[in-house]
Amino acid sequence: MAFIKDFFRKIKKPKYSIKAASKNFKFEINNLVKKYNPDQIIETGSYKGLGSTLVFAKTKIPVISIECNKDYAMKARKNLKNYHNVIILNAHSLKKKELIKFINNYKYKYPKNVKREVDDKFFYQYKNEINVNSDFENALPFLINNDKRQIVFLDSAGGVGYLEFKTFMKLPKKFLRNKILVLDDVMHVKHYRSIKDLKKMGCNPKVINNRFAYLSFIK
């Protein structure tokens, strides 16, 4: 019994609850909408439309969400059918070939608490999530390469989050200055490097609950 008690004492409790993170996410998004009055919200990774996509839908701002899995895209459309400000695209955020290549060649030395998400098992799963047919590819650059004031939420499969981030950061300055970047899973392989890169650039992203972060490029 003593051994079992000691074992459970050593298990680290999560630093945030999913419920708390969800509540804080909604609060921060609503504040960003009030402060910056964006023209549009762009999201990668709709899943079934009942998480972040629903939060965005309730802002009444026009939302375009990208989901490469056709079944999930259809479920998201069904779940959000009463929100006429939302469009769910069955698309890959970037070119499928580039996404798979990025996963296959992905190498980075992570700290232990993040590294557990980077083994072959996880990356094989990420590749399977991406290696599906969709209606079209490279949707993210097509949707954000403009001067619209947009919240851009990057939340695709973990293995490609950093590639989406790098694509976003390549926007011309005249377009970037109208964007608010939001990243999910910042202590995960998805966007751990993205946050590190932003800080190296001298940026100061606001990190909430060690779960998500945002940074406005609007001056």
Is 9 a residue whose pLDDT tops 70? no
pLDDT of residue 5: 44
In the DSSP assignment, the letter for residue 14 is P
> What DSSP character marks residue 208?
E
The 10s digit of each residue's pLDDT in 40-72 is 999 999 999 999 999 999 999 999 999 999 999
pLDDT average, residue stretch 94-103: 93
Q: How many CA atoms lie within 13 A of 88 on its CB side?
A: 28
Of the pLDDT bands very low, low, confident and very high (cuts 50, 70, 90), residue 3 is: very low
As a whole number of angstroms, the distance between CA 25 and CA 207 comes to: 11
Instruction: List the domain boundaries for the chain.
Output: 91-210
Tell me the helices (H) and strands (E) count for the chain, helix number first.
Answer: 11, 7
Residue 130, token pair as written in the block: 């991406």
Q: Can you tell me which residue has the tokens 């079209």?
A: 136
Pairing of strands 179-184, 206-208: unpaired
Asked whether the beta carbons of 189 and 159 are under 8 A apart, the reply is: yes
**pLDDT of the residue at 46:** 96
> 26-35, 36-45, 108-117: which range is least confident on average?
108-117
Q: Is the dihedral of CA 21, 24, 30, 35 positive or negative?
A: negative
pTM of the predicted model, to two decimals?
A: 0.88
- Give the whole-angstrom CA distance, residue 117 versus residue 198: 21
Amino acid letter at 4? I
**pLDDT digit string, tens, across residues 160-179:** 999 999 999 999 999 999 99
Residue 122 has pLDDT above 80, yes or no: no
SS3 content of the chain, % helix, strand, coil (to 5): 45, 15, 40
Residue 193's H or E segment, with its range, is helix 192-200
Structural contact between residues 81 and 213, judged by C-beta atoms closer than 8 angstroms: no
